[in-house]
Structure 1
Amino acid sequence: MTNILVTGSNGQLGSEIRGISSNYEYNFFFTDRSRLDITNFSEVKNFIDINNINAIINCAAYTAVDKAEEDELNADKINHLAVKYLAELAKEKNIKLVHISTDYVFNGENFKPYVEDDTTNPNGVYGTTKFTGEKAMNNINPLNSIIIRTSWVYSSFGANFVKTMLRLGKDKDSLGVIFDQVGTPTYAKDLAKVILDIIPNINNQQVETYHYSNEGVLSWYDFAKEIMKIAKIECKVNPIESKEYPTPVKRPHYSLLNKSKIKKEFNITIPYWKDSLYECLTVMGEKK
């Protein structure tokens, strides 16, 4: 029996993994910061030893992009040092490690979908600490370990863009949503399925990086329009430019990820973003 440690299990991806866990013949250990402090090397080591962990899915992350600018110490602890500790333990104990990273390791100034070995140049503390975590994992290089970068994650769990649009759409007659940031959303349940499906087939000597999001291309404005359409919310969505909605950290204007590598190496099919959004809103009881 494969014993899998899932960190950050109360987040969107961790919650989706928990939700489908009964479909898999794995023994799961779902943890959050109250049960396991992944920034404490000794605590993680003891947990792994006591529970005979064979694989780790690291869903834990400091994801408050703007807040990270004033909280760099904690962002670095979670996004960098904790990854370093997990990688060291994975190498020492021959444990598979799946680490979740982000499109924010890029600056968003590309003109074609990012491939895994494109030059990284993160904006802000969040992207920088996530990239530093990636570098630490690559330097330690535990066997049978992978990094999956993803983008625009949403779920029926937690706080996310979809839930925000549903809430605001029901309260307002109109909304302004950014149209000059382009990418693809990721339904966390789709990513959860992929991770659990590919774990038995991870077999590599060097840390491998993959990109995953749903298929398609859209702006946040397009995303909001489709949410309102499926949920039949009578709220007019107006396109606005990023400069009309300034934030402490510059968001990537172009976040498209090329998924060819993960599709080819693991023989997977990735759902179209509208189909996944429809499924998520159905699960949430918001499809009208």
Structure 2
Amino acid sequence: MVFRTIFLPGEGVRLVADAVGDPHAPPVLFLHGGGQSRRSWRGAARRVAEAGYHGISIDMRGHGDSEWAPDGRYDLDSMAGDLRCVLRHLGRPTVLAGASRGGQVALVAAADLPDHAAMLLLADVIPQVDPAGVAPISRFMQASTDGYPDLQAAADALAGLPGRKRPADPATLARVMRRGDDGRLYWQWDPRMANPAFINPPAERSLMERAAARLRCPVLLVRAEHSEIMTDAGVAAFHRLTPQLQVRLARGVGHMFTSDQNDLFALPLLENLKALHSSLSSTSRP
């Protein structure tokens, strides 16, 4: 199947996405995690297209080829505002699959537009994440704003994250980096996202908890076996807010920050899509 590059309206920004499959089929919209790009869900999008859906993998604001926020806003509600624009543009019930930051965005938008959310898949993210697990990610993001002299240095920086191994071939990082005017290498996202105000502030937890209590669609949490940000207590609190929550375990993986590959989280989604196929098909075709 051939991917098509499409453009979608955000809230004051233009978003770039890859689409695959029949545009009239039930849509499945994939949102990557912080530091990732639309490539992270490419394999999953192809698989859902082969199963009869319209797979769409989007670059969120400030990531990949999408526009950077002109006002520098990367708070959760601003990013969820982009998704609300996209869902209204699609104009029909959509399955939302979000990893990490993309999952937070999907959770809030699904609660705000319940008629547009057919199902919600969350890859290793809950409203109450463990601050101890977030702290190394925050430090990594802030340190990365200075850039790197070469791919070797970028690989060394990644190896400093908990649970991360140094890439066997640093050359593979080239696809997720850009070269600045100063000649140094930077991750392919707006460095203003490294502002601590945008990394797990208490207000965002409250926003997600309120959203979780309002969710009406089926919700599936795929928890990384070696997640650094998720605790049993946090999952239990999520379940109290969202009684329809189901939890699956992705064995042998950790939190996916900066890793542009989320396919290990896709199998539970495909299994749950089968039960929704009939109801989605009946509302998708004009």
State the TM-score bracket (shorter-chain normalisation): 0.3 to 0.5
Normalized against structure 1, the TM-score is what?
0.38
The structure whose Rg is larger is 1
TM-score (norm 2): 0.38
